Amino acid sequence: MEKRKLGKSLEVSAIGLGCMGMSHGFGEAHDRQEMISLIRAAVEKGVTFFDTAEVYGPFINEELVGEALAPIRDQVVIATKFGFDLKDNAHSTPGKMKVNSRPEHIKVVAEESLKRLRVDVIDLYYQHRVDPNVPIEEVAGAVKELIQQGKVRHFGMSEANANTIRRAHSVQPVTAVQSEYSIWWRRPEREIFPMLEELEIGFVPYSPLGRGFLTGKIDENTTFSENDFRSRLPRFAADNRKNNLAMVELLTQIAARKNATPAQIALAWILAQRPWIAPIPGTTKLHRLEENIGATSVHLTAEDLRQIEDAASKIEVKGERYPEEMEKMTNL
């Protein structure tokens, strides 16, 4: 598979694998052995970039990823995240969890993540959400110490605004920024992309398939279980889904012309935006994994991209991406 560079030195596969949904967020956790097999199949197919976080589960997703990748550790890049106070959050609902990026906390949870991941060093360590109570310079300083100690290789930030990233970067160079990004949620293009270009920082889009919506497998009649967090997202309300199918129809039209699927067009569109972008679509199914990887073989011409841009600009996507309390936890 094509490789891409995040920051100045971190090389990853053009398509990574977001592992959250295997354990957390989209209903019941999936069978552990099946997910281990899927992760290892991804490596065999050229994926080298795997994304997890302590909060996914919590903890069990890191353990899953660690077990799956232990035999092939030297072939892969493992990214995980810190930034929540999980001991205080055991019974919290999403969006009401307490953030915690105090330097002493970061150092403790880094050790715990190292053990769960079965590694000596974390390749890419993201601050999951900005902590308004801790100066970002202190956060970057704590990660810098972990890097100096050989426990972390690269510093990342998630859902942070341009000014916050710039301040952190002045203390410890940021290798990658992770934020939601897809053809139906493009806010990072405004202020984040120009800053990333300037500072030579990579970008890792999560939910590049719109949490499954852009695959064309969800419509206004789809039902979500109570423990599927899409059931609480405004964008996934039935009326909004019905309206937003216009974006799926656009992808479907392009896909038919390119002998591809809507998901592959959505991913190929992201890959075409900048050479320093590496999306991390998640899946629990082998055929979806293969489909996503296939997006790297879909070539969108300048004319294709112009037509997509023109058509997408006429579609008004309805519904906020998060409920208000969850959006407040982002720093964009």
Residue type at 25 in one-letter notation: G
d(CA 94, CA 54): 14
Q: Which of 56, 125, 206, 322 is catalytic?
A: 56
d(CA 318, CA 42): 34
d(CA 198, CA 276): 12
Question: Is 56 one of the catalytic residues?
Answer: yes
Strands 3-6 and 10-13: antiparallel
Q: What angle do CA 230, 233, 235 make, to 5 degrees?
A: 105
Per-position DSSP letters for 224-273, written without gaps between them:
--TTBGGGG-GGGSHHHHHHHHHHHHHHHHHHHHHTS-HHHHHHHHHHHH
Q: How far is Cα of residue 5 from the mean position of the Cα atoms in its chain?
A: 16
List active site positions. Answer: 56
